[in-house]
Amino acid sequence: MTSSIFLATQGFGLNLNLFETNVLNLAVVIFGLYKFLPNFLGGILERRRSGILADLKDAEDRLNEATNSLAKAREELASAEQKASKIRSDCKVRAEAIRLESEKRTVEEMARVKQGAASDLNAEAARVSNELRKEAAKLAIEKALAKLPSKLDDSAQSKFLSQSINNMGKD
Amino acid sequence: MGFTPFIFPFAELEVGQHLYWQLGNIRIHGQVFLTSWLLIGALLTLVVVGTKKMERDPKGVQNLLEFLWDYIRDLARTQIGEKVYRDWMPFIGTLFLFIFVSNWGGALVPWRLIRLPSGELGAPTADINTTVALALLVSLSYFYAGLSNKGLRYFEYYVHPTPIMLPFKIVEDFTKPLSLSFRLFGNILADELVVAVLVFLVPLVLPVPVMFLGLFTSAIQALIFATLAAYYIGEAVEEHH
């Protein structure tokens, strides 16, 4: 016992005794691990890796999809904006047209009203002058009737009658 | 044993031998440091190389590391809770990965090819000092987590739900690191010893299934340690109403 300890304290070195170092059994164990561990662990790791890759691909797909729909929405927004601006400009044009139209109509209406007033005035003047004429004629007839009895006698009447008869004969 | 070559001709077995390094007044177990540094280096190399060129398509080492990250995140989240698990995920992950790599590194690397002046290389977690250090870190962490999250209200936990619980909860603060460290240490050391004894008795074939069993239990132990650490932290930050 003492001698073996004494021998063992000689210093660092290599021990190449196959049995003492248990190298053969270790080799078997390590070989077994090398044979079976990659199968066991490798399966787990490969599943993990494919899961991660699938997740990544999924996320990328969703990103693509989102990007596409964003672009589509942007396009739609642009077209809607275009439509809105078109509608706005159309409205402006229409408003301008309506304004012009109503202005024109107003002017026409004013002209018509003016003309109507003028024609009313003319008609009134005509009516008034007619009335005056009738009045004048009436007055003249009344005057003549008033004068008539004093001027009309038998001779004059007969003269008048014969004159009328003569006149009838000429006709 | 060296004097009985005909009965035990194949291997030697020694327990309790260490490669002592003198550091001031402290004698430290050098072989634990050597294997720890090597395994930490390997782990760091794997992580740094694996995350150097990150791609969207996780391939090879990156995929493995992301898988581990997911695993640790789920562990931390279920134990600590949605609110603060992010603060503690690095700690839990470091515990899990270090213990796991230590256990498997100790079991799979043919350390005995290298002969030391004294003691032998093996899993760093088969040394009680490593596991006690880890367990005390867990204790510090859950105290810090509780105090930083709830202030002095953390100590309400000791009288929750009734003040009768106070002595038990105080004892728990001591038994938690104790059980953590001894569970890990005992399992890994026992595993190494069983393999060593078997190799000593039946050098071929028979140790192989035991070694596979050892790999399984080492992985479970790493998981248990990390889960319990996360559970203690979660218990400390949990809100009682």
The answer to whether residue A33 is domain-embedded is yes
Query: What is the rounded CA–CA span in Å between residue A117 and residue A114?
Result: 5
Q: How many domains does chain A have?
A: 1
B169: nearest Cα among B225, B238, B236, B231: B236
pLDDT greater at residue B60 or residue A125: A125
Do the chains contact at A48 and B211, CB–CB below 8 Å? no
Do the chains contact at B112 and A3, CB–CB below 8 Å? no
B110: nearest Cα among A140, A69, A20, A3: A20
* Residue range(s) defining the domain that contains residue A40: 15-150
Claim: this prediction has a pTM higher than 0.95 = no
Distances (CA, A) of B123 to A97, B33, B147: 99, 10, 34
Residue A5, pLDDT score: 42
Q: Which residues contact A156 (CB under 8 A, 6 or more apart)?
A: none
A46 in Cβ contact with A54 (< 8 Å): no
pLDDT (mean) for B160-174: 90
**Listed ranges A10-24, B45-59, B107-121; the one with the highest mean pLDDT:** B45-59
Residue A145, pLDDT score: 86
Choose the closest CB to A9 out of B11, B117, B199: B117
B93 in Cβ contact with B69 (< 8 Å): yes
The answer to whether residue A63 is domain-embedded is yes
Residue A1, pLDDT score: 38
Residue A126, pLDDT score: 93
Quote the minimal CA–CA distance from B122 to chain A in Å.
12
pLDDT at B48 over 90: yes
The answer to whether residue A155 is domain-embedded is no
**Helices marked H in chain A — which ranges?**
2-8, 23-151, 154-170
Residue B1, pLDDT score: 41
Q: Is B56 on the interface with A (CB under 8 A)?
A: yes
Residue A6, pLDDT score: 43
Helix (H, G, I), strand (E, B) or coil at B26: strand
pLDDT at B7 over 70: no
Express as a percent the part of chain B with pLDDT over 90. Answer: 54
B193 in Cβ contact with B15 (< 8 Å): yes
Q: Provide the greatest CA pair distance for chain B.
A: 70
The answer to whether residue A7 is domain-embedded is no
Tokens of A43: 């399966």
The model's confidence at residue B4, banded by pLDDT at 50, 70 and 90, is very low
Residue B61, pLDDT score: 86
Residue B241, pLDDT score: 64
Residue B187, pLDDT score: 93
pLDDT at A169 over 50: yes
Express as a percent the part of chain B with pLDDT over 70. Answer: 93
Q: Is B2 on the interface with A (CB under 8 A)?
A: yes
Q: Establish how many alpha carbons lie within 13 A of residue B57's alpha carbon, considering only the half-sphere containing its beta carbon.
A: 4
Residue B136, pLDDT score: 95
The answer to whether residue A136 is domain-embedded is yes
C-alpha torsion angle, residues B91, B95, B101, B103 (rounded to 10): 180
Q: Which amino acid is at B156?
A: E
Residue B22, pLDDT score: 85
Helix (H, G, I), strand (E, B) or coil at B20: strand
The answer to whether residue A139 is domain-embedded is yes
Q: At what angle do helices B85-108 and B30-50 cross, to 10 degrees?
A: 120
pLDDT (mean) for B178-192: 93
B171: nearest Cα among B182, B162, B183, B179: B179
pLDDT at B54 over 70: yes
B227 in Cβ contact with B78 (< 8 Å): no
Residue A26, pLDDT score: 87
Do the chains contact at A5 and B17, CB–CB below 8 Å? yes
Interface list for A 41-70 with B (CB within 8 A):
41, 44-45, 48-49, 52-53, 56
pLDDT at B132 over 60: yes
Distances (CA, A) of B95 to A29, A138, B215, B227: 25, 143, 17, 10
Contacts of residue B64 in chain A, CB cutoff 8 Å? 41, 45
Do the chains contact at B113 and A15, CB–CB below 8 Å? yes
Residue A81, pLDDT score: 96
Query: What is the rounded CA–CA span in Å between residue B44 and residue B32?
Result: 18
pLDDT (mean) for B29-41: 91
pLDDT at A118 over 60: yes
Residue B81 falls in which region: left (phi positive, over 0), alpha (psi -120 to 50) or beta: left
The answer to whether residue A41 is domain-embedded is yes
pLDDT in tens, A11-60: 777 877 777 777 888 888 899 888 888 888 888 888 999 999 999 999 99
The answer to whether residue A163 is domain-embedded is no
pLDDT (mean) for A91-120: 93
Residue A10, pLDDT score: 58
Q: How many CB pairs under 8 A join A and B?
A: 99
